[in-house]
Amino acid sequence: MGYKKNSYCSQGIRRGSAVLLFSLILSYFLTDVQSCAQVKLCDPNYTTDGEYWLYPAIYNYRPVKIYCKGMNTPTPSEYLTLFETNLFMYQNNRYTDGTSCSMETYEHENSGRTLYNKIGVDIRTMTIIETDSNFTTQIQGKVVRYGWVQSCSGYTSSCDYKGVAGMSVADTGLIFSGMNEWIKFGTDGEFSTVLRNDHTIALKGDGACGGGKPKYPIKLETDPSFSKLCTVV
């Protein structure tokens, strides 16, 4: 068996089935396994959806744990499994009038509450595909896009924004890039940052209807402080 094939295939290993240190060393030599499709090319026996180590070029081929969906199809796709709550709420209520903060039910056609359990990622750019809802839990109403913070409560300046976006990539081995930016959208769209650090971004926003949305696709970077990699074998 040739050296290339041997090393190439050693990288398409499933989590828990191989020694990571070995694949880390190999990744310095051969770096072909950048996508779920390439895992399949390496070994057609990998037909099960699950977590795989991929080596995205944009990370200089450092390993990232990615969930591969559709491994029994010719076009599998990549997801990041989330460990903390990632919740988006476009509320189904609004302020009753412009003078108080009392609220009434308002079933806006876009209102909804969505929990993301995994997020779709573009493996070439390591950005989040905000419209992919394959791994979500719908609590109410319509799917709310990942990263968007919005509502339609016609808030007044003395009342709170009602839309909520809670994002966390804690324990994934990745962080949110500091370059990510949000912009206002919609009618009277406004938003504010409740919390922001490498792993967590919490926003609230509102409008009539409007709020805040990512200016560009949300970018993920490798987490320099991530130590779990060293203990997973």
Ligand X SMILES: *[C@@H]1O[C@H](CO)[C@@H](O)[C@H](O)[C@H]1NC(C)=O
Residue numbers of the site for ligand X (CB under 6 A)? Answer: 43, 45, 70, 77, 132-134
The torsion angles phi and psi of 40, rounded to 5 degrees, stand at: -65, -40
In the complex, what is the shortest distance from the CB of residue 81 to ligand X, in angstroms, rounded to a whole number?
Answer: 15
In the complex, the smallest distance separating the C-beta of residue 60 from ligand X, rounded to whole angstroms, is 26
Kindly tell me which of 70 and 217 has the beta carbon lying closer to ligand X. 70
Closest approach, Cβ 142 to ligand X, in A, equals 12
Name the residue among 52, 79, 98, 231 with its Cα closest to residue 169: 79
Write the Ramachandran bin of 113: left for phi over 0, alpha for psi from -120 to 50, otherwise beta: beta
Question: Which class for 182: exposed (0-12), middle (13-18), buried (19 or more C-beta within 10 A)?
Answer: buried
What does the block give as tokens for 135? 């791994």
Supply the minimum distance, in Å, between the C-beta of residue 132 and ligand X.
4
Please, which residue, 58 or 129, has the CB nearer to ligand X?
129
Closer by beta carbon to ligand X, 117 or else 134:
134
* DSSP at 14: B
Closest to ligand X by CB, 70 or 106: 70
